[in-house]
Structure 1
Amino acid sequence: MEWLILSKLKLIKSKVRESVKKALLEDGYKNDLSLKLKNFNKNKIISASVTTRQKGTLSGSSWFEESFKIIDKNAKIEWYVNEGSSFKKDSKIVRIKAKSEAILSGERTALNFLQLMSGIASKASKYSKVLKNSSIELLDTRKTLPNLRYEQKYSTSLGGAKNHRFGLFDAIMLKDNHLKVFGGVSKLKNLKYKNKGDFLEIEIEKLSQIKLALKAKPDILLLDNLSIIEIKKAINIIDNNCLIEISGIKNPDDLKKYRDLKIHYISLGDLTKNIESIDFSLNIL
């Protein structure tokens, strides 16, 4: 059974269209008061281009395109930077040719997706480069914006990370609050699975919990906020009986301290929680 921790999200066009449609409706694109002025020709074909004021990694091109094509199905989009590729400051990113209605009403939605998703991909790329020559894989988390998890996890994968479980349904993960309800780690040795083959991950906050947790035969142990010295001790205690994931790292410089450890994964909530959007600008030509 393959767990999402080992995979990357694929582009699903129906999900893209559904997400963009919701965003356009939120913005009221069908009732754009500016386009209702009597002397405004909303069917006039115009062109526009998007440039960036900073470097980064591109993500969200399909969402960007759909923001215009839902309004004008004949809109033509020409990309100068490919999805997942890096770009420099002041780069020309894309050119659009469509009805004025589509460009003016779809502009904000298109840029919102592009700036958010590229910001996430750029941050993931920055972290991934730190682990370039390491066997450790970078993982995202479920610390995402409501209703934008697919977009955010898609973007982290473009930046070089892999996806942790997408939701509560694709792996069993017992964190500190679960353990409190169960009555402690010691109670897990009699754990009963509803479905054979379900992956099990257990969060560890103290070294004393490890041997007890291993009795539950987990696929992976998450060492949460342990010091490097504690992690090294944990590696010896675990002794290759399961995979090891660590968390609690705050920034790329901090990550450098962990890249030579004999662990498998590092999960980072920072990838999707603390978003630094890329500054894009759309201008009519």
Structure 2
Amino acid sequence: MNLQNSIIENVRAALLEDVGYGDLTAQLVPADARAEAKVISREAAVLCGQAWFSETFKQVAPSAVVQWHAAEGDVMTVNQHIVTVTGNARELLSAERTALNFLQLLSGTATTVKQFALALQGTHTKIVDSRKTIPGLRLAQKYAVTVGGGYNHRFALYDGILIKENHIATAGGITAALKQAQAVKDAATQNPFARDAFVMVEVETLAQLHEALTAGATLILLDNMSHDMIREAVAMNMSFNDGKADLEVSGNVTLDNVRAYAELGVDRISSGSLTKHIRAVDYSMRMNRL
């Protein structure tokens, strides 16, 4: 999916939702009034979402001038002035909430991911997101994950194969599911992402891990395993051609325990909390009439 097209559509949908038939309150301001709006960060956070913020003003206030004073991915300080917007006062007022909503959401995602990435510094382990995103904003949130220093898992059901417990149960087992996965990729001629799609299998026991490795799995998700089981899983993987599979840990991952998981020797740690447990960053916009 094209990021720029997604940004345009995200903003269009958000403005339809918020402005709808028109901003009644903005009509209290003279039609020809001009204003300068300054956005301040009220807390330390990672700045993310500039493109969505700017696109909002582009769609509502085409003649407005947006001037950024910080770069995407910068760590902002408390009360830092990050952007100035100058233009028609009515238009700035109508765009304000939608623009800030994108900025606070994506900055919140990037800030959370940054904390996890910092906790993993010095290890070879990557922090990875999931499909547990706000509907309609998946590409935006996955972009924010990368700004925060994380990595993207599959974007959607069409570009990756993740064999979970229900797939295993209904496909006839891990070996059968892995074999069928390649056939699915080969047969998906109408899907441009299929041939490059990764195949991952989720295992819950060491016996399942052994079966997956024996069947040739190269990407394995260790789901809700204890530290002792993960340690054994890493050792087992090393016994198969010196660790031919990448191991990913998932389940009950928090900022407090993510480092301990990494130190067990896994390659990736995934967490849905990166994109579904969002605490928005506090921004304030103040306007002055020119």
Cα distance between partner residues in 1 of 2:12 and 2:32? 21
- Which of 161, 177, 183 in structure 2 is aligned with 1:193? 183
Query: Given the alignment of the two structures, is residue 16 of structure 1 paired with residue 7 of structure 2, yes or no?
Result: yes
In the alignment, is the contact (CA less than 8 A) between 1:119 and 1:276 conserved in 2? yes
Query: Given the alignment of the two structures, is residue 242 of structure 1 paired with residue 240 of structure 2, yes or no?
Result: no
Query: Given the alignment of the two structures, is residue 265 of structure 1 paired with residue 268 of structure 2, yes or no?
Result: yes
- The SS at the match of 1:31 is coil
Cα distance between partner residues in 1 of 2:104 and 2:129? 19
- Which of 264, 276, 280 in structure 2 is aligned with 1:277? 280
* 1:31 match: 22
- Which of 145, 161, 181 in structure 1 is aligned with 2:170? 181
* 1:206 match: 205
Cα distance between partner residues in 1 of 2:129 and 2:245? 20
After TM superposition, list the pairs within 5 Å mapping 1:85-104 onto structure 2: 85-104=74-93
The amino acid of 2:246's aligned partner reads: L
Q: Which portions of structure 1, spanning 4 or more consecutive aligned residues, are displaced by more than 4 angstroms?
A: none
RMSD value over aligned CA atoms?
Answer: 1.7
Query: Given the alignment of the two structures, is residue 72 of structure 1 paired with residue 90 of structure 2, yes or no?
Result: no
Number of aligned positions between the proteins: 274
In the alignment, is the contact (CA less than 8 A) between 1:199 and 1:219 conserved in 2? no
Cα distance between partner residues in 2 of 1:136 and 1:147? 29
* 2:32 match: 43
Cα distance between partner residues in 1 of 2:246 and 2:159? 17
Cα distance between partner residues in 1 of 2:97 and 2:80? 19
Tell me how far 1:124 sits from its aligned partner. Answer: 0.3
Mind listing any 5+ residue stretches in structure 2 that lack a counterpart? 187-194
Mind listing any 5+ residue stretches in structure 1 that lack a counterpart? 1-8
Q: Cα deviations across residues 169-227 of structure 1 (Å, max 9, x unaligned)?
A: 11111011111212333533643523345421000111111121223322200001111
In the alignment, is the contact (CA less than 8 A) between 2:37 and 2:285 conserved in 1? yes
Q: Cα deviations across residues 59-118 of structure 1 (Å, max 9, x unaligned)?
A: 101111111111221111111111111001111111110111221000000010000000
* 2:191 match: none
The amino acid of 1:133's aligned partner reads: G
Cα distance between partner residues in 1 of 2:84 and 2:198? 45
In the alignment, is the contact (CA less than 8 A) between 1:60 and 1:83 conserved in 2? yes
C-alpha spacing 1:69/1:30, structure 2 compared with 1 (3 Å) = farther
Query: Given the alignment of the two structures, is residue 226 of structure 1 paired with residue 225 of structure 2, yes or no?
Result: yes
After TM superposition, list the pairs within 5 Å mapping 1:134-145 onto structure 2: 134-145=123-134
In the alignment, is the contact (CA less than 8 A) between 2:262 and 2:269 conserved in 1? no
